[in-house]
Chains A and B, each alone.
Chain A
């Protein structure tokens, strides 16, 4: 499956994931302390420059990954035009876009396996509550493995529906898909037990 990690290798890929996440946490906290359009424009500029150091392709990907934010930017922009508070609107849009872009930068420059290691490290205290790291790792692997399986199943179910009906399948495929997920869960549980049981 595709991850959001950029295939364009840049300098930040070589930094340890934990360092990048710590810097991101500090930077995001600071960002919410900043006020006024100018300091926030500077912060946005800084993230844009950092993204641009990855070259044009990386910068393009960074811009594209921000696309889901546009409706919100438009909404806030129109709102503040309407209330004639342009500076306030600029502040909100810059802060929101900068925070998301900075977080995206970390995601784009960190491999899934490295992120997973950080997640497992963060979840270590949960071992006392009955979630040993091995079980978390198995759960993550199972989800990643079963997304394409369930996707195929969804395709088969709607193909079977289309063979029998001229109407679109729509939500009616969700019940058999849910049943399929329950069946798979039971089978995989049996398989795990047959191979020595719980981790």
Chain B
């Protein structure tokens, strides 16, 4: 019981810290924040249930007024803004990513990449795009076009999340709860 609680709490803190890290420069100097990678890692490392709970705990702290979203955003306002769909999708993305790693017991790097792409991109965009369409009153294709520029960065983050999960599987095999 204590172990579940502390893992959920520590990974909620990890998502926050990955959003506070100023930026990670990709090839070509494109700055991206690592926060959505934190969402992916919650699922691929902690598994579906604990991963989703860690993300929910993180969102609860954002909602009650801590500026933990990347760029120092937070408070209730972010839930009324154009990103609301992504925020709603965060815990579900982590859940799906975790579920794929738990169920598809192939090489950890492969299933973690699949989990990160399906959870962190497909599922997340499936919530994020309708959210933007609703708040900005655009059609779905228009909102999808606005989300498109983020796709390459998110694909790179999926690769990194898979590599990191694989690294954890080597460094701390007993701590990889998604495969426990």
User: What residues of chain A have their CB less than 8 Å away from a CB belonging to chain B?
Assistant: 1-5, 24, 28, 65-66, 68-69, 72, 75-76, 79, 88, 91-92, 95-96, 99-104, 106-108, 110, 112, 115-116, 118-119, 135, 138-140, 142-144, 146-147, 149-151, 154, 168, 170-171, 174-175, 177-179, 181-186, 188-190, 192-193, 197-198
Looking across the interface, which residue of chain A has its beta carbon closest to that of B17? A150
A105–chain B nearest beta-carbon distance, Å = 9
Looking across the interface, which residue of chain B has its beta carbon closest to that of A24? B76
In the complex, given contacts A99-B135, A104-B75, A140-B61, what are 5 additional A-B residue pairs having Cβ atoms less than 8 angstroms apart?
Answer: A100-B81, A112-B65, A139-B12, A142-B5, A143-B61
Contact B75 A179 (CB under 8 A): no
Residue numbers in B under 8 Å from A2 (CB-CB): 67
Partner of A139, one of B8, B66, B78, B82: B8
Instruction: Give the CA-CA distance A178 to B13 in the complex, in Å.
Output: 11
User: What residues of chain B have their CB less than 8 Å away from a CB belonging to chain A?
Assistant: 1-3, 5-14, 16-18, 20-21, 24-25, 34, 37, 41, 45, 57-58, 60-61, 63-68, 71, 73-82, 135-138, 142, 146, 160, 163-164, 167-168, 171-172, 175
Contact B76 A182 (CB under 8 A): no
Contact A143 B13 (CB under 8 A): yes
Cβ contacts A to B, 15 pairs, < 8 Å: A3-B66, A68-B71, A69-B82, A99-B80, A139-B8, A143-B9, A147-B68, A150-B17, A151-B20, A174-B41, A185-B6, A185-B9, A185-B10, A185-B11, A192-B5
Residue numbers in B under 8 Å from A139 (CB-CB): 5, 8-9, 12, 57
Residue numbers in A under 8 Å from B58 (CB-CB): 143
Instruction: Give the CA-CA distance A134 to B104 in the complex, in Å.
Output: 36
Looking across the interface, which residue of chain A has its beta carbon closest to that of B75? A107
Contact B66 A4 (CB under 8 A): yes
B173–chain A nearest beta-carbon distance, Å = 11
Contact A182 B82 (CB under 8 A): no
- Nearest 8 A-B pairs (CB), nearest first? A107-B75, A115-B64, A142-B9, A103-B76, A104-B77, A99-B80, A198-B1, A185-B10
Given A96-B82, A104-B75, A143-B13, also A119-B64 (CB < 8 A)? yes
Looking across the interface, which residue of chain B has its beta carbon closest to that of A117? B64
Instruction: Give the CA-CA distance A104 to B81 in the complex, in Å.
Output: 11
